[in-house]
């Protein structure tokens, strides 16, 4: 079974600075998808960014980018120019590339605090 590990329960960053959240996963599959979801205090789960394992290029979405290291099974999220609205729980998630297996496996989350 796949597992997702987020080793940083809490992180904090000064507003406008850059922060990196870590995520590692364990799988024997070669085809899979990785996601970062954000959960603000409203508890709504919002997709931040996604990465297909077959793509070598790291995904980027505006201020959010990932460092995907397939061999190391690492998938970190970098947030540039941090803003107060970025304060939230961030969850890393894994989905198998196997057709018909749609299960999302989540990590335990990292609580990000933005310091004004």
Partner 1 sequence: DAGVIQSPRHEVTEMGQEVTLRCKPISGHDYLFWYRQTMMRGLELLIYFNNNVPIDDSGMPEDRFSAKMPNASFSTLKIQPSEPRDSAVYFCASTLRPGPYEQYFGPGTRLTVT
Our CB check for partner 1 shows the closer of 74 and 105 to be 105
44 is a contact residue toward partner 1 (CB under 8 A): yes
Q: How far is CA 86 from the centre of its chain?
A: 13
30 is a contact residue toward partner 1 (CB under 8 A): no
75 is a contact residue toward partner 1 (CB under 8 A): no
Among 95, 89, 91, 36, smallest CA distance to 60 is for 36
Sign for the CA dihedral angle at 21, 47, 63, 75 comes to: positive
52 is a contact residue toward partner 1 (CB under 8 A): yes
Classify residue 63 by its DSSP letter: T
The pair phi, psi for residue 84, each rounded to 5°, is -60, -35
Interacting span for partner 1 (CB under 8 A) from 10-18, 62-70, 71-79, 89-97: 89-97
Q: In whole angstroms, give the CA distance from residue 82 to residue 85.
A: 8
Sole binder of partner 1 in the list 28, 30, 41, 43 (CB under 8 A): 43
Instruction: State in angstroms the smallest separation of the CB of 20 from partner 1.
Output: 21
Site residues for partner 1 per CB under 8 A: 33, 35, 42-47, 50, 52, 91, 95, 97, 99-109
């Amino acid at each position: 079974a796949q597992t997702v590990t987020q080793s940083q329960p809490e992180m904090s960053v000064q507003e406008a600075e850059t922060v990196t959240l870590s995520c590692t996963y364990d799988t024997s599959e070669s085809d899979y998808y990785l996601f970062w979801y954000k959960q603000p205090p409203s508890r709504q789960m919002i997709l931040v960014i996604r990465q297909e394992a077959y793509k070598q290029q790291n995904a980027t979405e505006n201020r959010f980018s990932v460092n995907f290291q397939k061999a190391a099974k690492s998938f970190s999220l970098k947030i540039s120019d941090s803003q107060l609205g970025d304060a939230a729980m961030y969850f890393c998630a894994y989905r198998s590339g196997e057709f018909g297996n749609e299960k999302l496996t989540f990590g335990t989350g990292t609580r990000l605090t933005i310091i004004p």
